[in-house]
Chain A
Amino acid sequence: MSLTVVKGLQSEIFVPVTPPSVFTKPTKPMKEWVVGLATAAGVHRKDQERFNLAGDFTWRKIPSDTPTDMLMVSHGGYDNSDVNKDINCMFPIERIHELVAEGIIAGEAPFHAGFMGGGGNIEKFTNETGPAIAEMFKEEGVDAVLVTAG
């Protein structure tokens, strides 16, 4: 008998479970990396389909040579005013161009990834969207990905 154990007792406080860790170490130094960008900020080209602001697990392939005035945001979950002034706030694509030009990194992925984070169909994100974006970066030979989210 144990005085400290009560059968079926549940916490009144919601205690979410943190998923098990995943961790991949880089295999070469930063100046040899080809870098990709992935953003949950709802970034896409102006000629691509907008995200459904009520929830959308699809994603957009963004060519890295897209001029910033051809990029836009559709996302209903945060204040878009800064990113509407300057897309680099969430999608620092011009900073990545500069790092490549200066030799701080070796190159950038031909395509980056934009999706709309902040909820939606988490199962689809985890089982379909995430692996699809990961596969694109693998095929592009990307060495590291900078993610902006949360």
Chain B
Amino acid sequence: MQRAIEKAGVPTICVTALPPVSRQNGTPRAAAPLVPMGANAGAPHDVAMQRGITIDALKLIETIETPGKIVPLPYEYHAQI
């Protein structure tokens, strides 16, 4: 999906909980906070974390120069299961 959008000429960032999967699927660029699948953009109702992840991910569209690069983001959330 990300690749299709990128191919159409629109830059993208993937916020991923599973960076190895994103790498394997050929992500153009990705941001990887330490989150479980299902809370990629941050913990529920944690506005500060969601905001941080959203802004930092968008900034990576400007700063990543190499196709396929995945940058860890300094946010951590462990779901209580």
Contact surface of A with B, Cβ cutoff 8 Å: 16, 18-26, 29-30, 33, 35-36, 38, 40-41, 78-83, 85-86, 88-92, 95-96, 98-99, 104-105, 115, 117, 125-126, 129-131, 133-135, 137-138, 142-150
Contact of B61 among A80, A81, A99, A144 (CB under 8 A): A144
The number of inter-chain residue pairs (CB within 8 angstroms) is 185
B41 and A92 contacting across the interface, CB-CB below 8 Å:
yes
Contact of B12 with A25 in the complex, beta carbons under 8 Å:
no
Once the chains bind, are A95 and B50 in contact (CB under 8 Å)? yes
Which of the four size classes fits the interface of chain B? 35 or more
Q: How far is the CA of A38 from the CA of B10 in the complex (A)?
A: 12
Q: Mark B37-52, 1 if CB is under 8 A from A, else 0.
A: 1111111110100110
- Among A29, A35, A81, A133, which residue has its beta carbon within 8 angstroms of that of B62? A29
Q: 18 extra interchain contacts, Cβ-Cβ under 8 A, other than A23-B67, A24-B28?
A: A19-B26, A20-B26, A21-B68, A23-B28, A82-B39, A82-B43, A85-B45, A89-B39, A90-B39, A91-B41, A92-B42, A131-B4, A138-B10, A146-B12, A147-B1, A148-B15, A149-B14, A149-B22
